[in-house]
A and B are shown apart, each in its own frame.
Chain A
Amino acid sequence: AQSVAQPEDQVNVAEGNPLTVKCTYSVSGNPYLFWYVQYPNRGLQFLLKYITGDNLVKGSYGFEAEFNKSQTSFHLKKPSALVSDSALYFCAVRVTGGGNKLTFGTGTQLKVEL
């Protein structure tokens, strides 16, 4: 079975500083990895995905993620954080043989302060 771990419940960063939200995964076979963002009382918005190809994936709102096969990680990054980036971030992996079904991590609350 596949699983996703987000070791940090919360990440605090000052505006303008780089941010990293960590994610590690466990899958059999090739991983299909995703990052979503959730604002309060809203659904999830897609940020980016890794299916194959370049290990550095660029997504929406200036976010990027680096796929590292040897470390089984898919950390979300942004060079310069904005206060408006404050939200709940979820890493997800596609369920093997489950079509578009996803398994989500526990989420990381990102707080960007002035």
Chain B
Amino acid sequence: GAVVSQHPSWVICKSGTSVKIECRSLDFQATTMFWYRQFPKQSLMLMATSNEGSKATYEQGVEKDKFLINHASLTLSTLTVTSAHPEDSSFYICSAPDTTGSQPQHFGDGTRLSIL
């Protein structure tokens, strides 16, 4: 079945570092992908929708310059957290829409980002 691979699983880095998270659709093409942020024991908050070959669509309140999204190919979207600070620590999850109609989205396993 369709699989979305997200890398890395865990990142620990110093404040001020930029961190890139990759999201790949492994056996299908994804013209759009979704990026979510999840705080402990809370729901998923949609941050943005990445669009292959064009600019991402950000949800209200999400800083575009802080969370850079690039969707350079039909199988890869990246989220870069620029100049990360401790308040950016969170669990980030990507997903890609299903192409068969069996379910709406396939989710990656998430990236735990910890900024020291």
| A residues with CB within 8 A of B | 32, 34, 36, 41-46, 49, 88, 90, 92, 94, 99-102, 104-107, 109
Question: Number of A-B pairs whose CB atoms are under 8 Å?
Answer: 55
Within the complex, the shortest CB–CB distance from B104 to chain A, in Å, comes to 4
Contacts A100-B105, A101-B34; is A41 near B91 (CB within 8 Å)?
yes
B97 and A99 within 8 A (CB):
yes
**Which one of B42, B102, B103, B110 contacts A43 once the chains associate, using CB atoms below 8 Å?**
B110
Q: Could you say which residues of chain B place their CB within 8 Å of the CB of A99?
A: 32, 97
Is the interface on chain B under 10, 10 to 19, 20 to 34, or 35 or more residues?
A: 20 to 34
23 A-B pairs with CB atoms under 8 Å apart are A34-B104, A41-B9, A42-B109, A43-B4, A43-B6, A43-B93, A43-B107, A43-B110, A44-B93, A44-B107, A46-B102, A46-B103, A49-B103, A88-B41, A90-B43, A100-B32, A100-B104, A100-B105, A101-B46, A104-B43, A105-B43, A107-B41, A109-B41
Point out the residues of chain B lying under 8 angstroms from A102, CB to CB. Answer: 104-105
B49 within 8 A of A: yes
Smallest distance from the beta carbon of B40 to chain A beta carbons, Å? 11
**B residues near A36, Cβ cutoff 8 Å:** 107
